[in-house]
Amino acid sequence: MAQKTVIEAIREGMDEEMARDPSVFLIGEDVGQRGGVFLASDGLYKKYGEYRVIDSPLAESCVVGVAIGAAVNGMRPIAEIQFADFIAPAMNQIIEEAARFCYRTAGDFNLPMVIRAPWGGGVHGALYHSQSIEATFAHIPGLKVVAPGTPADAKGLLKAAVRDPDPVLFLEHKRTYRLVKGEVPDGDGVVPIGQADIKREGTDLSLIAYGLMLTYCLQVAEKLAADGISAEVLDLRTIKPIDEAAIVATAKKTGKVLVVHEDTRFAGIAAEVMAIIMEHAFDALDAPLMRLTAPDVPAMPFNHVLEEAFMPNVDRILAKAKELAAY
Amino acid sequence: MASVKMPQLGESITEGTISKWLKQPGDQVKKYEGLVEIITDKVNAEVPAPLAGVLKEIKVKEGTTVTVGTEIAVIEESVAAGAPTPTLPRVPGREQEPVAQESAPAIAAPIPEEVKSVPSTESRTRLSPAVRALIEAHHITDAELAGIEGSGVGGRISKKDVEDFVERRAQPVAANGEQRQAAAEARPGPAAPAGETKVPLTPMRRSIASNMLKSKQTIPHAWTVAEVDMSNVVRFRHQVKDSFKQREGVDLTFVPIIVKAVVEGLKAVPALNASWSDDGVVLHKDINVGVAVSVDDGLIVPVVHQADRMSIAGLAKSIDDLARRARATKLTIADVQGATFTVNNPGTFGTILSYSIIAPPQAGILAMDAIVKRPVVVEGDAIAIRSMMNLCLSFDHRVLDGVSAARFLQGVRRWLEGFSEQVPLY
């Protein structure tokens, strides 16, 4: 095992999958000679050549459209959307074609493709470089949505996504790329899609999060422990299909749940998690379900103070968790 | 009927003591009229009536301490005064002695229906599904439920409260009863022998006792003393005190000057302006100095907040104001909270070496002892008469070591000994 950053884990994951399976290739804006704007594919162009690491035109509908065509024909494409914010031009391809292809062909065709997209804020990226898109796409049946928060999960889930027979939207939180470091197991270390993970055991309340908010929640749990409050931290890892059993189990265990995400509030993932708990763990609840999210404003502000106000941070999560603990 | 609950009179305050009922059952009360005096953390606060009506019942006796959210009185609203609200028949022991009600066979006596339902369900907050499930699983009766004290927001019974109750219930009845009694009311000690009197404990006495006990049981105190030549300070103060009084209206005592020196010392040794916690020492940003003030029935420590931002004159005014209000029992909760260090002045009473007890969660307390003229050896091996004072520091040895403590005292001493007309008063 070695300590790695999230970006290193993702680069390694792509490298190993491309080495393992010649049908795996990468396409996206600047992924080739430049190695990707975040250097996720740094070195891969040199190693695998221009036919397997393809610099696309600046047209997301093309990136995804090419990937769909290739996948139908037996390839396993990894399509990179430079920033999740830029995915809108490809939505028609993703929703109308990719998500429904298997259904439309009555199972005759699968689309084994991965769409990688750096998402999330906290990097002064403002309107066009900070968005959270998970709730929008998780609503679409036929798509899988993955949002790892640690290097090991990023690599393991990327491998699972590449090998999955269906389209997977693979969300990489750009703030975690170099911020979050952790042990990454040697060898394959595949992490199955659809399994949440308890990142910290606790008994008094549960914090449910994913992406960057996972890191924040773990810091909050540490602070709560100093106050004698034992918090469990559940990392969703996969947003869809969501791990209902793990969510219900932690809710039953602690009876108090706070869901945290940096996506906006209305019809966000927290709402879905809370609904699952209400359906399956009502009798175990000892407090109203709580959520801490970004407010329903159009986009992440650029101004530092406003960005801080928009995104949940450790202080606000801690305050909310204490409110829940005291209930 | 509206219930009056023990209010939360400040952050981190979990309980309060009924000091005095200003109204008696049957009295008319106006909205916002003073209803009861409550003591928390050594401060008196008058709690106003939340609505107009007639005080029907006092649920908590004077001198009793209850947790925030506990029902302390019932007021009948004046709108409903004419309505035929039945006077609740008193059930023996229900209000004062919930313990007796549970363990004694007297519980078998039939309880009138309205008594059973009105106070026990309507005034209680709702039970969560988890709590309901536990109640069912452990066959907890309504009477038992009424005896469970809620630790949640507004006295809500939480899952943990019920789990704790179930655990307590499993213990033998005698131990159980005794435990509860101790919680509700301090256990009476042996009666005073003939010729001796037993002075009842005031809430302040109790509070001092529990704080001091907690401090000595949890903080490993270390103690160190520095001898300070106060001659310069004494001379300077003598020169300016009359004009200062005339100008500012308050006396320039030694206390604000010492507090200023302490602030300088704490700036030099931030490790002393700190609190111990199990996962790290918390260094405080502000320097808030508690100044012990002796009052009629004990001691109170109001706090000069952000003392590091004040001049000597500012400190003098602030301390004078706090001491005045302390003696008039007019301090607010904020006035006594948030101290990061304490200065104690037993020297006024002539002491020369004082071992003070730290007020948790602070890491230190400095006692200024009496300034006395003594012959001392000065530069050039001459003997001179100087005004000497001992500064005695008690510190939490978990937080810092003797070297840092000594460095702090050294800083304070140097500042005081180097005092001159050049040191700004403002």
Using the predicted structure, report yes or no on whether residue A141 has a pLDDT greater than 80. Answer: yes
A163 pLDDT tier (thresholds 50, 70, 90): very high
Residue among B159, B277, B280 whose CB faces A286 most closely:
B159
Q: Give me the pLDDT at residue B333, please.
A: 80
Q: Are residues A103 and A201 in the same domain?
A: no
Give backbone dihedrals phi and psi of B394, rounded to 5 degrees, phi first: -100, 130
Render the burial of B178-204: b for 16+ CB within 10 Å, e for the rest: eebeeebeeeeeeeeeeeeeeeeebbb
Per-residue pLDDT tens digits for B173-204: 544 444 444 444 445 666 767 788 888 887 77
Closest residue, chain A, to B155 (C-alpha): A327
Closest residue, chain B, to A253 (C-alpha): B130
Highest average pLDDT, of B22-36, B43-57, B126-140, B301-315, comes from B301-315
Closest residue, chain B, to A323 (C-alpha): B153
The A residues from 307 to 326 touching B (CB cutoff 8 Å) are 326
Any idea where the domains of chain B sit in the sequence?
1-85, 107-187, 206-417
CATH number of the domain residue A176 falls in: 3.40.50.970
Q: Give me the pLDDT at residue B330, please.
A: 84
- Looking at A184, A212, A237, which one is the last position of a domain? A184
DSSP helix/strand/coil, B49: coil
Does any domain span residue A206?
yes
B423 pLDDT tier (thresholds 50, 70, 90): confident
Average pLDDT of B71-84?
69
Q: Give me the pLDDT at residue B10, please.
A: 66
Q: Are residues A212 and A134 in the same domain?
A: no
CA B296 to chain centre: 16
Lowest-pLDDT range, A182-196, B115-129, B199-213, B273-287?
B115-129
Per-residue pLDDT tens digits for A212-254: 999 999 999 999 999 999 999 999 999 999 999 999 999 999 9
pTM for the full predicted model: 0.54
- Looking at A184, A207, A233, which one is the last position of a domain? A184
- Number of CB pairs < 8 Å for A and B? 35
Q: Give me the pLDDT at residue B46, please.
A: 81
Residue among B133, B153, B278 whose CB faces A226 most closely:
B278
CATH number of the domain residue A277 falls in: 3.40.50.920
Q: Give me the pLDDT at residue A197, please.
A: 98
Number of separate helices (H) and strands (E) present in chain A: 13, 14
B152 pLDDT tier (thresholds 50, 70, 90): confident
DSSP helix/strand/coil, B393: strand
- Looking at A149, A184, A219, which one is the last position of a domain? A184
B406 pLDDT tier (thresholds 50, 70, 90): very high
Does any domain span residue A320?
yes
B370 pLDDT tier (thresholds 50, 70, 90): very high
Known catalytic membership, residue A129: yes
Q: Is A106 on the interface with B (CB under 8 A)?
A: no
Q: Give me the pLDDT at residue A222, please.
A: 97
Expressed as residue numbers, the domain containing A132 is 2-184
More confident site: A272 or B38: A272
Using a CB-CB cut-off of 8 Å, the residues of chain B touching A283 are 129-130, 132-133
Residue among B159, B279, B280 whose CB faces A255 most closely:
B159
Using the predicted structure, report yes or no on whether residue B106 has a pLDDT greater than 80. Answer: no
Closest residue, chain A, to B161 (C-alpha): A286
Using the predicted structure, report yes or no on whether residue B48 has a pLDDT greater than 60. Answer: yes
Single out the catalytic residue among A124, A129, A139, A173.
A129
Q: Are residues A158 and A53 in the same domain?
A: yes
Tokens of A226: 């100093």
Q: Are residues A148 and A293 in the same domain?
A: no
Q: Give me the pLDDT at residue B205, please.
A: 84
Does any domain span residue A189?
no
DSSP A208-262: EE-THHHHHHHHHHHHHHHTT--EEEEE--EEES--HHHHHHHHHHHS-EEEEEE
Q: Are A238 and A196 in contact (CB under 8 A)?
A: yes
Contact (CB<8Å) A284/B153: no
Does any domain span residue A192?
no
Strands (E), chain A: 2-5, 24-28, 53-55, 76-80, 114-119, 144-146, 168-173, 181-184, 197-200, 205-209, 231-235, 238-240, 257-264, 290-294
Q: Are residues A30 and A127 in the same domain?
A: yes
Question: So what's the architecture of B206-417 in CATH?
Answer: 2-Layer Sandwich (3.30)
Q: Are residues A68 and A153 in the same domain?
A: yes
Lowest-pLDDT range, A216-220, B14-18, B83-87, B187-191?
B83-87
Using the predicted structure, report yes or no on whether residue B218 has a pLDDT greater than 60. Answer: yes
ipTM of the complex: 0.72
Pairing of strands A76-80, A53-55: unpaired
Q: Is A286 on the interface with B (CB under 8 A)?
A: yes
Using the predicted structure, report yes or no on whether residue B82 has a pLDDT greater than 50. Answer: no
> Measuring CA to CA, which residue among B34, B81, B31 is closest to residue B56?
B81
> Measuring CA to CA, which residue among B56, B55, B66 is closest to residue B6?
B66
Tokens of A318: 């801690």
Total number of domains in chain A: 2
Q: Are residues A138 and A238 in the same domain?
A: no
Q: Are residues A100 and A45 in the same domain?
A: yes
Does any domain span residue A65?
yes
Contact (CB<8Å) B133/A284: yes
Per-residue pLDDT tens digits for A142-160: 999 999 999 999 999 999 9
Using the predicted structure, report yes or no on whether residue B276 has a pLDDT greater than 70. Answer: yes
Contact (CB<8Å) B152/A327: yes
DSSP helix/strand/coil, A75: coil
The DSSP element (H or E) to which B210 belongs, if any, is helix B203-218
Using a CB-CB cut-off of 8 Å, the residues of chain A touching B129 are 282-286
Tokens of B139: 């066959």
Q: Are residues A205 and A56 in the same domain?
A: no
Does any domain span residue A129?
yes
CATH 3.40.50.10860 fits B1-85, yes or no: no
